[in-house]
Amino acid sequence: MMKKVFLFVMITAFLGTDSVLAAGCTEVGKGIATQKNGVLVRSKPVVQDGKDMCMIVVVVPARDGEKLRRVEVFVPAD
């Protein structure tokens, strides 16, 4: 019984950490999308060079008859 409780606590702790980081990335992504006058497509926590980063993908409206642009930005998750 104790092993099951310990396992549940460990899984909950790890999932909680990721969900907090993902929520932070979503907020950062919304801000970047607003700055670029675009639409947030994806915000995902990633690890680059041992650092927690947020990968933000925004679709920006076209200018002068061009196609929509896909902008990918990596920002620190701090």
CA 15 to chain CA centroid, Å, is 15
How many domains does the chain divide into?
1
Domain with 71, as residue range(s), is 2-76
pLDDT of residue 8 exceeding 60: no
Does this model's pTM top 0.85? My answer is: no
Q: What does the pLDDT look like over 26-46, one tens digit per residue?
A: 888 999 999 999 999 999 888
Structure-model confidence comparison of residues 35 and 2, the more confident one: 35
**CA geometry: angle 63, 59, 18, nearest 5 deg:** 160
Sign of torsion over alpha carbons 36, 38, 39, 41:
negative
Cβ 8 vs Cβ 31: under 8 Å: no
